[in-house]
Amino acid sequence: MATPRIAIDVNSVLPYYTKGWTAGIGRTTKELVEHLSTQRDLPFDITLYSQNFKGITADVMQLPFRTRHLRYPHRNVWNRLLALTPIKEWVTGYDLLHIPHNFDWVHDPSRTIITVHDALYFAYPEEFLGHDFAQKHYPALARACRGILTCSESSKRDIMQYMDVAEEKICVTPWGYNEELFHPREYRKTGCPYFLMVSCDEGRKNTRTLIKAYEQFASKGSPSHELVLVWVHPPQDVVHYCNRPHLRDRIYIVSEVDDERLSRLYNEATATFFPSRYEGFGLPVLESMACGTPVVTCHNSSLSEVGGEAALYVDPDDVDDMAHHMEQFENQAYDMQFMSQACLRQAAKFSWHNCIEKTTAFYQQCLS
């Protein structure tokens, strides 16, 4: 009997090799595939599938997997047309296709599994992110596909509720973190202490509220802590707001941070603030804790699953409480060694080894 073949779509990973960084979905897909490559005696073969007209291919990952590339633009209209034929099946010869980025147009959903990271487009819809498209098309694929992987119990509940998907069809495989990058490191301090927020944005990421909290904190005397925001495309009004005289040289916005610099930012921060209103997982919480850096986040969606008892929790609208935690860190009121050790213990509960074990078992289940 021929060995089953699984094709994994790695298009979300490719920007990493052109820009030096990629968003959360691309990062987790990259880690997933790289850790799969370390497994011996897998009961199936893996093919990495990529698609673009002129850009790089899956070969750039330099992994011991077969790769196949389709020279068509990776755009919604093209993908919808391509799905009218079994061209991806012909190119890759797959028995099972894994779409790790929430949705794509596929010819045969019954031979497809998808990773649905969250049900954000129902639970916290944001028009500027095109969530009307997701609401219209994602549930049909979720119900028709062979199986669904997701990264938290919170996301599983939301998928069941909002997309009407049966519980037995969903497998929860919490993400891990890159242990070579995200761990406690000693750096020579070269500036003021700071608070950090990663994955900043409008809407649910709630960055504007954190800025207000920092402004309130900074208005009381002359605190030593600054605020660093990792924000790829900050709105101009936010940039102008942070450039006002009393915040200038106190709030710094940085973008397109590669993984090595991100690890340093976590390690050198006094604390990471992540007051998001909704997350499917919350990688910044896990990565910060893995570096031993305390986290202040919110008790909603998946964030309490990741933060456990190690994180400090605030209401996403409570500016006063966020500012209070900043004051406590500023005044060294917290036992930082105790908090750091608690973060490391909590982060140790998450690993790519566990994720890969559950994922490969789910692959086999869906192949049977």
What does the DSSP assignment read for 196-233?
EE-S--SGGG-HHHHHHHHHHHHTSS--S-EEEEE-SS
Cα 83 from Cα 174, distance rounded (Å): 30
Count of alpha carbons within 13 angstroms of residue 216, beta-carbon side: 16
User: Is the confidence at residue 238, as pLDDT, over 90?
Assistant: yes
Question: Residue 127 — very low, low, confident or very high, per pLDDT cuts 50/70/90?
Answer: low
Question: Residue 305 — very low, low, confident or very high, per pLDDT cuts 50/70/90?
Answer: very high
Whole-number average pLDDT of the chain: 95
Classify residue 368 by burial, with Cβ atoms within 10 Å: 0-12, 13-18, 19+: exposed
End-to-end CA distance of the chain: 13
pLDDT, average across residues 62-73: 96
pLDDT, average across residues 331-342: 97
342 CB-near residues (< 8 Å, 6+ apart)? 309, 310
Dmax over Cα atoms in the chain, in whole Å? 74
- Identify whether the C-beta of residue 361 lies closer than 8 Å to the C-beta of residue 44: no
Give CATH 3.40.50.2000 domain extents, the chain. Answer: 5-176+351-367, 194-347
pLDDT recorded at residue 217: 97
User: Is the confidence at residue 131, as pLDDT, over 90?
Assistant: no
Least reliable range by pLDDT among 43-52, 254-263, 305-314:
254-263
pLDDT recorded at residue 59: 96
CATH of segment(s) 5-176+351-367: 3.40.50.2000
Distances (CA, A) of 212 to 209, 322, 331, 332: 5, 9, 20, 22
pLDDT recorded at residue 128: 64
pLDDT recorded at residue 124: 86
Token digits of residue 138: 């994602």
pLDDT recorded at residue 23: 83
pLDDT digits (tens, 9 = 90+) for 6-15: 999 999 999 9
Cα radius of gyration (the chain) = 21
User: Is the confidence at residue 216, as pLDDT, over 90?
Assistant: yes
- Identify whether the C-beta of residue 188 lies closer than 8 Å to the C-beta of residue 182: no
Query: Whole-prediction pTM value?
Result: 0.94
pLDDT recorded at residue 256: 80
pLDDT recorded at residue 189: 73
CATH of segment(s) 194-347: 3.40.50.2000
Q: Which residues are registered as beta bridge partners of 312?
A: 296
Q: Residue 133: phi, psi to the nearest 5? A: -65, -45
pLDDT recorded at residue 55: 81
User: Is the confidence at residue 129, as pLDDT, over 80?
Assistant: no
Higher pLDDT, 293 or 221: 293
User: Is the confidence at residue 285, as pLDDT, over 80?
Assistant: yes
Q: Residue 365: phi, psi to the nearest 5? A: -60, -45
Instruction: Provide the b/e sequence for 67-96 (b: ≥16 CB within 10 Å).
Output: bbbbeeebeeeebeebbeeeebbeebebbb
Cα 154 from Cα 279, distance rounded (Å): 9
User: Is the confidence at residue 22, as pLDDT, over 90?
Assistant: no
Instruction: Fill in the amino acid letter for 136.
Output: K
pLDDT recorded at residue 126: 74
User: Is the confidence at residue 335, as pLDDT, over 80?
Assistant: yes
- For the chain, strand residue ranges (E) read 5-9, 45-51, 66-70, 96-99, 112-115, 147-150, 170-172, 194-197, 226-230, 251-254, 271-274, 295-298, 312-314
Question: Residue 191 — very low, low, confident or very high, per pLDDT cuts 50/70/90?
Answer: confident
Question: Residue 60 — very low, low, confident or very high, per pLDDT cuts 50/70/90?
Answer: very high
Length of the chain: 368
Instruction: Fill in the amino acid letter for 115.
Output: T
| Whole-number percent of the chain with pLDDT over 90 | 89
pLDDT recorded at residue 153: 98
User: Is the confidence at residue 188, as pLDDT, over 80?
Assistant: no
Cα 123 from Cα 143, distance rounded (Å): 18
Of 87-101, 115-129, 187-201, give the range with the top mean pLDDT.
Answer: 87-101
